Structure 1
Amino acid sequence: LAPEKQKKPPKFVEILVDKTETVDNTVVFEVRVEGEPKPTVTWYLKGEELKQSDRVEIREFDGSIKISIKNIKIEDAGEIRAVATNSEGSDETKAKLTVQKKPFAPEFDLRPVSLTVEKGSEAVFSAHAFGIPLPTYEWSVNGRKVRDGQEGARVTRDESTVDGASILTIDTATYYSEVNHLTISVVAENTLGAEETGAQLTIEPKKPPAPKLTRDLKLQTVNKTDLAHFEVVVEHATECKWFLDGKEITTAQGVTVSKDDQFEFRCSIDTTMFGSGTVSVVASNAAGSVETKTELKVLETPKETKKPEFTDKLRDMEVTKGDTVQMDVIALHSPLYKWYQNGNLLEDGKNGVTIKNEENKSSLIIPNAQDSGKITVEASNEVGSSESSAQLTVNPPSTTPI
């Protein structure tokens, strides 16, 4: 009698290895196992047992066991496992099956979109194509290929996925072009072919900032026969229109419209010709417009039989350079006031001067006093006028010896 063989549990001496195969092809896995008694091998794909069928062939040849799976599909991709068992135990080996699509030429599923941007802005174009093998991308602007390191243009890739989109960024501030309308094209290519798509880039001149009010109109209350002075400061405005009760007013009889510098716009209204109403100004440029409004209140002057008479006159004043000066007067008989320094008319809101008139009282306020001189105030009505004068002395700041 032959000696009884020593029993041993199964052991795979050739194990499964990962395989990658193309759709509709046949994939073959092979193992070799030892054990006593002879092990039985069972195959599993994605946890499901594989048995002999039209698609699956299992055969043993010269000590190795092979399994062939025909007409594989994308959904077959996953873990394949071989389990060997006998009365003494079991062993297993496993591998990964990857199923790839058949090679095909690139086909775009994301195409660049035409853009219109302002000069100085960035224009970003994205493109993505499916293809096996994975395609490469080449961008062109007006037929010229975009190269690495080219000023104003760069090509990057979305790295969030293996086959991320290709991205072209054009910085219109530095990209040189003789024209403002550019044709953008991109070619996706692999060994089986290529596909091209494109878009348009329009670069518009940079627009100026929208107008910005830095000084609004202020309420003006004046006596009839006085001029009402309005001032507005607007940055970036190319046009400024004035309105009284919604009707545009321009320089004409009774109205003076002027522009003092780049930002300051002024309007003077003769109240003998225009009464109370809403004054508004609309400042605009190519980027937009801004509006501000206020009220003009014209006070009717009662008939007087006497010329103005000062009850509180000006008094000489001595201040330090840089101080704020305020001088007040009060006169009877409906006075209209005008202030002068060294014979020069002072106007409210000009050169920092503020003039406040409240009934019979008038106040002159000069911030940051700089110059000495004679201050005169004239009070007038339809009967006549009176004056009050005083000396304003502006001393230099005192210095403390060290």
Structure 2
Amino acid sequence: MADHDFAPSFTQKPQLRQEDDGNRLVFECQLIAKPKPAIEWYRSEELLSQNARTKFKIQSFGENKYFVVLELDDVIDTDAGLYKVKAKNRMGEVSASINLNFSPVDEPVEKQIDGLAPTFIKKPSIQQENDGKRLIFECQIQADPKPQIRWSHNSKVIDNTPRHKFKVQNDGKLYFATLEVDNVTFEDSGKYKVTAKNELGESSATISLNFDSEEVPVPADGFKPAFTERPVTRQSDDGKNIVFECRCIGDPKPTYTWQVYHEKNEMQMGGRFSSETEEDQNHCYLIRFTIRDVKQLDRGVYNVVAKNKHGDSSAIINLNFDSSAKIVNPEGKPPRFPQKPTISQKGEVLSMECILEALPVADITWFHGTETITDGERFKILRKAISNDTYLLTLQISQPTANDGGIYRCHAFNPFGESNAHITLNFKANENDRGFAPSFVEKPKIIPNKLGTLITMKCRCRSKPKPTVKWMRKKQEVKSSNKVALEVKTVDEDTYELTLNIKDPSAEDGGSYSCVISNEFGESSATLNLNIESEQESTKNAPIFVEKPHIVSLDNGKLVRMECKVKTDLKPDITWTREGRIIQETTKLKITMTAEKDVYHISLVLKDPQTEDSGTYKCNIKNILGELNANLILNIEIVPVIKEKPKLVTNVKKRTASIECAVASRFKPECIWMKETTVIKETHRHMIKIEETRQGEFSVKLNITELSEADFGAYKLVAKNDKGQATSQVIEIKDIVFEKPPPTKPIIDPKLKDVEVDEGGNLTLAVGLVHPDRHFKVYWMKNKTILKTSETVIQEFSGRMAKLTVKNCTVEDAGTYKVSISNEQQSDESEAKVEEAKKPEVPKIMETKEPEPKKGLEAPSIEIVRDKGGSRRGSFLDDRRPSLLMGDDVSSSSIEARLFTQMLTLYRQYTGTHLWSSDLFGKR
């Protein structure tokens, strides 16, 4: 990025995007500037300020690069209009606009058209040829599609004539536009404007051409008047007086008349109104109109007409007041140098002087070539006020040398514009036989080729001996490369032609170039610099929407009316288009426009609308004050249409099936797949996909995975929307032979384990499988004999577990059991032993010495008696003591063992000693 200050310039024009479902609008753009610019946002001519709904942001994202944003919350209809962003710093200002239109709330937003709105890559510049008899205005524009180029001079469109020639050449999306003016005369001075326009937007730039009458010829017979600058309005400090100022050229001297539109007649001078004319250069006049003791009734549109025998020209000033009789947004005075700069020298001090007009006071910067001059020991910068808006600017150089020669520039800037004065300082060289310092003999030229792929900067100089040549840009030397070629060519004795060629130039190559030539006698430099004025045209009275454009359905949908309502001072021209094609009135289409004062009601009526009438309709509303576009999207819905039978694609190996059906519908329909009479719901196996293949046509798919015989059957699609439904033809999935997977080897885990079983109990044996498969075969064997299912032998197999159950086991059920599980090719086995459970042993009674009875206790005696039921009971037991009954079905050995145990326990409780078996039964 350049190390010197420069005016703001857009690198990305304003763009508009929506957030929060359209409730928030964001305008954003990018620019470069140094120093950081001040930003202002306008809607129409109203300066916006921040509030709860409106927020401004400016953020730096690189050296001298800024991201500028306007956020608009809770959007309402009245937010529509022309938005303008203005960026300015002390080096200049730039502005850009974007129009906000609303489409109907319930309609989709129009799709963005691909392409580029016109943007000036290189602003207009002026080149001279043929000793100044021909002028070439040239600029570079980036656009897609190709833009229409229009040139105008002092607001009058220039026609292609033998004296005015237009050329437009392109290289891809880059267009090189030129205007050639032959046989240049003084009447060609004034303001030139170039406008580039395509379907995506419009851009314009201006450049002013001013002459001294000595520089160009004046037609012998003279020329008609022309206003060369925009009129300026000033108000006195006390607010009582207002002065309009205009600059006009003409020969012979024009006469001037002033009118105010609300009176529609010529104003009489005298009293509160006065007019004066001052010639500040040959054929150039300053016209002033003064209103004294200004009143509210003085507001209105003023017109000044300049007239001589060759014709007339006019300029308009709009005067508005607020309630305090102050001018609304009073205009200042842009900087202007009304006279040629002068050079004088007294002793060792050289002075360059300029007269400057500006209001408010302008910032002044002096340059020598491309280098900024600052106050110091040798350079003094002075400014002296001559009047309220006129200043004498002086640059003093102490002890000047040949190195001080070259081009000096005085740059003046205020909020209303900028201007430059150029002064060439040449020192006389003492030519002698030995040599002389180099000097330029022609004005430097910049010459592009026809395609804009090569730019040549050319200078011619005299020097003895041959000079050393150095090209500079932004304080850096320009050296030869693949892109840049430098050449020094001898054209005559001591005369040289110096060229710098730039291949495939781009915006980054722009700027100020200096050609510095030197030899042992001195040095000289020439600057190739382009000064461009650009301004945004006023849209004060341009058309604006007073309500949002909308679509109305009438007579139960038999009529559709698209409506716009705009406000403008002049009747607009209306053009309706559909999908980019101009609409002509027919029996089906009718275009109307009615006016109520300055409000115009515009409509397009469509009879019996059909699907093919759907699309994007655009209404272009245009007059000389401005232009608007309304975008309306019309959608005509119909019942879905299914024209073809669904298509079936199967993959037997992967076990998948896909059924696809095409549905014609304006919007995405609701789709249901059915098998026979059952609605298919989406699962991990059934997936439904709907996608738009082109506008108004959808592909509806049913994808089935893990396909099996259970999926065989008839399928159909039902497509619905608000207008009705359509059902497809039936498609069947059937007769599919699936490949059998290779058999899996059976692996038993866990295996059988040895077990014991009680007589009369049940035996259960079970094994598991690592890879479950219900197709395996299972065999159970006992002692190598295959077991068959019966009432007592039960076999079970779930594919995961095999189980054998034997009920009411006997001694004969003991043995070796084996299970074998197999498929067609492989098998696995497991075996276990089954044994009869062992009977419990009768406990043995230990023999001990006879215990001594306890004192005070009698040793209990035990007597076994049999009751009527055949039971026996000890005589020392009563009914509250445990008893042991003996029935016929109880084995004697079991009873005996249990009885012994009980008796021993009771005896020990009463005596504290053991009872020996010999005491009861005697020794065996």
Normalised TM-score (structure 2) = 0.19
Larger Rg: 2
